[in-house]
């Protein structure tokens, strides 16, 4: 999975001003029996930092995708999202 994420990050435009709609923002939620936010959309803006940040420990357990999505929606801090504050899509 880390290799796939690395390829994905390397294929996206991730460096630059986070309010620029052409810049991709990446966050990471890991999940198995429970979900955990590893980092949010505005935490990393450099490709090298992102590539280091995706090296997270595999936790084992079941795959609970619906709960992970619900967890992220519930725990997303909309008040600090730069794009939402500036009305950028």
- Structural tokens at position 70: 């619900």
Q: What is the pLDDT of residue 20?
A: 74
Q: Which domains does the chain have, with CATH numbers?
A: 2-15+26-85 (3.40.50.410)
For residue 13, which of 21, 2, 4 has the smallest C-alpha distance?
21
Strand ranges (E), 14-79: 28-31, 35-39
User: Is 89's pLDDT higher than 60?
Assistant: no
Per-residue pLDDT of 48-79, as tens digits, reads 999 999 998 877 778 888 888 888 777 766 55
pTM for the structure as a whole: 0.72
| Separation CA 40–CA 15 (nearest Å) | 15
């Amino acid at each position: 999975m880390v290799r796939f994420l690395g390829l994905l990050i390397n294929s996206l435009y991730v460096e630059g001003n986070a309010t620029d709609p052409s810049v991709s923002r990446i966050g990471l939620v890991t999940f198995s029996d429970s979900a955990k936010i590893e980092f949010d959309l505005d935490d990393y803006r450099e490709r090298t930092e992102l590539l280091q940040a995706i090296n997270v420990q595999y936790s084992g357990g079941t795959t609970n995708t619906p709960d992970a999505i619900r967890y992220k929606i519930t725990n997303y801090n909309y008040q600090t999202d730069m794009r939402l504050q500036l009305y950028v899509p």
